[in-house]
Amino acid sequence: MEQWNLETSEPFAVMGTVVHSHHSKSINILQNHVIIVHDGKIQHIGMAPSLQELKEVHNISERQIIQLSPSQFIMPGLIDTHIHAPQYPNAGLGYDKTLLEWLETYTFPLEKQYGDLVHAQNVYKHVVRHSLNSGTTTACYFATIHLESSLLLVDLMTELGQRGFVGKVNMNTCQNKGYNEKTEQSVTDTEIFIKNVLQRKNQLVQPIITPRFALSCDSILMKKLGELAKKYNVHIQTHISENLGEIEAVKEIFPDSKHYADVYDKAELLTKKTVLAHGVWLKDEEIKLLVSRGSSVSHCPCSNTNLQSGLCNVRRLLEAGVKVGLGTDVSGGHTPSILDVMHSALDTSIHVFFQHKNIIPLTYHEVFYLATLGGAEALALENEVGNLMPGKQFDALIVDMSSHYLLNSEPETLVQKFVYCGDDRNIISVFVGGKIVKKTKI
């Protein structure tokens, strides 16, 4: 590929190998194709035409063409369905404890600091930049309970060009060791947060209602948040069934609920726009409930391993019809790279197979889907992003595998190598809504 220098405000084209998914089972590999981008959206995908045809039919000059080399391909941007931006400084630290102790010892003390806007600005700039550089074009962030710094995160995503969601976290119970808010304040600040984000008329970032988990919120707060979600028709995110101690505590605190998922359902927090992180220990009955509500699970295998939460059987969720995406879950997860999470999802799936021989481990094709279209479906964004079909936003990565020792440059080889051996150095360009947000000189 020659170094290109596009004007992204004008139509442009990418020519070469396109890799994307239409469903969970297999990747579509399209060689010698063109994608034409207009106003940040995909206008056309098809067999590559001649330069003359590009110019005459599609009005694209030679300067506006990216010609991929045989060791490169273009794919949809990665989607991180669960990440805690304020926990970024703790990534890689504190894995000597399991979830509930880890929250009290490491996480809540760090999150308390986000009343300080200078600290928030520093951390949030780093995490959004790192996430974009790792190829995440859409990220679904938890912020903290602080209204102002949560809005700051929205503004930084907008400035740096990342699509996604930000949730001001809700926590009103004493389980939170002094990191909490009063119910009324929590509801009022959440409504102010939603209105502020919606008023920004921001194409990229949306508000998401974020009750931390059932142990951090009482049922009064959760019901009020369910009402807000309905009033503003916004997304919802929380955690579910991550750790056995957590599940026991939920059972004790909510004796009238049939199970963990029922706690959220009673507050009308399970909707088609709800994403639930972890779901390692969900019962069959809970899975059925999620399917009937259209709620999704964010699979966070790095975090599930680091915090010794358990092995999530993703095959079981997919077969039951649950929508599943991947989440880095920084800082339970040690990396903001969804590509790293893809490796971990493959490993975890084989470890599940060691335990239950009757399941088929996930394939790299399926993991590619989970990281792209699966993530988009989990966030109810499949009409906007997730693959490279006409009408969708041009959220895409150019991947270059020339730094690896390749016996051939068959697209299957490139993609498989990328999924198993790739890292962010192989992601040489990142586009969000047709704008370049990462470009590496090669």
Ligand X SMILES: O=c1[nH]c(=O)c2nc[nH]c2[nH]1
* Of 80, 181, 189, 242, the one binding ligand X by CB under 6 A: 242
Q: Is 273 in the site for ligand X (CB under 6 A)?
A: no
C-alpha–C-alpha distance, residues 153 and 166, integer Å: 7
Which position's Cβ is nearest ligand X?
332
| 87 and 122 Cβ atoms separated by less than 8 Å | no
* Of 17, 71, 107, 328, the one binding ligand X by CB under 6 A: 107
Query: Can you count the helices (H) and strands (E) in the chain?
Result: 16, 17
Helix (H, G, I), strand (E, B) or coil at 438: strand
Neighbours of 96 (CB within 10 A): 10
Q: Is 213 in the site for ligand X (CB under 6 A)?
A: yes
Instruction: Provide the minimum distance between the beta carbon of 287 and ligand X in the complex, in angstroms, as a whole number.
Output: 19
Q: Which is nearer to ligand X, 163 or 239 (CB)?
A: 239
| 143 and 149 Cβ atoms separated by less than 8 Å | yes
Q: Which is nearer to ligand X, 111 or 400 (CB)?
A: 111
* Of 167, 332, 386, 411, the one binding ligand X by CB under 6 A: 332
Helix (H, G, I), strand (E, B) or coil at 371: helix
Q: Is 239 in the site for ligand X (CB under 6 A)?
A: yes
Q: Which is nearer to ligand X, 80 or 242 (CB)?
A: 242
| 357 and 313 Cβ atoms separated by less than 8 Å | no
C-alpha–C-alpha distance, residues 151 and 425, integer Å: 31
Instruction: Provide the minimum distance between the beta carbon of 331 and ligand X in the complex, in angstroms, as a whole number.
Output: 8
Q: Which is nearer to ligand X, 146 or 392 (CB)?
A: 146
Instruction: Provide the minimum distance between the beta carbon of 35 and ligand X in the complex, in angstroms, as a whole number.
Output: 37
Cβ-count burial 188-225 (b if 16+ within 10 Å, e if not): ebbbebbebbeeeeeebbbbbbbbbbbbbbbeebbebb
Instruction: Provide the minimum distance between the beta carbon of 304 and ligand X in the complex, in angstroms, as a whole number.
Output: 8
Whether residue 331 is preceded by a cis peptide bond, meaning omega within 30 degrees of 0, is yes
103's CB contacts (< 8 A; 6+ apart) are none
Q: Is 146 in the site for ligand X (CB under 6 A)?
A: no
Rounded to the nearest 10 degrees, the angle between the axes of helix 183-199 and helix 147-160 is 20
Instruction: Provide the minimum distance between the beta carbon of 303 and ligand X in the complex, in angstroms, as a whole number.
Output: 5
Q: Which is nearer to ligand X, 104 or 227 (CB)?
A: 104
Instruction: Provide the minimum distance between the beta carbon of 277 and ligand X in the complex, in angstroms, as a whole number.
Output: 7
Q: Which is nearer to ligand X, 296 or 303 (CB)?
A: 303
Q: Which is nearer to ligand X, 259 or 392 (CB)?
A: 259
Number of shown-chain residues binding ligand X (CB under 6 A): 11
Instruction: Provide the minimum distance between the beta carbon of 99 and ligand X in the complex, in angstroms, as a whole number.
Output: 6
Q: Which is nearer to ligand X, 141 or 418 (CB)?
A: 141
C-alpha–C-alpha distance, residues 17 and 415, integer Å: 11
Q: Is 340 in the site for ligand X (CB under 6 A)?
A: no
* Of 24, 136, 303, 335, the one binding ligand X by CB under 6 A: 303
C-alpha–C-alpha distance, residues 294 and 307, integer Å: 28
* Of 212, 235, 323, 392, the one binding ligand X by CB under 6 A: 212
Instruction: Provide the minimum distance between the beta carbon of 242 and ligand X in the complex, in angstroms, as a whole number.
Output: 5
Sequence-distant contacts of 410-414: CB under 8 A, at least 24 apart: 411/17, 411/19, 411/29, 411/31, 411/73, 412/29, 414/17, 414/71, 414/72, 414/73
Instruction: Provide the minimum distance between the beta carbon of 152 and ligand X in the complex, in angstroms, as a whole number.
Output: 19
1, burial (CB in 10 Å: exposed 0-12, middle 13-18, buried 19+)? middle
Q: Which of residues 67-106 bind ligand X (CB under 6 A)?
A: 84, 99, 103
Q: Which is nearer to ligand X, 324 or 399 (CB)?
A: 324
| 102 and 94 Cβ atoms separated by less than 8 Å | yes
Q: Which is nearer to ligand X, 100 or 406 (CB)?
A: 100
Go through the chain and tell me how many residues it has: 442
Instruction: Provide the minimum distance between the beta carbon of 310 and ligand X in the complex, in angstroms, as a whole number.
Output: 12
Q: Which is nearer to ligand X, 333 or 422 (CB)?
A: 333
DSSP state of 412: H
C-alpha–C-alpha distance, residues 301 and 139, integer Å: 17
Which chain residues interact with ligand X by CB under 6 A?
A: 84, 99, 103, 107, 212-213, 239, 242, 303, 329, 332
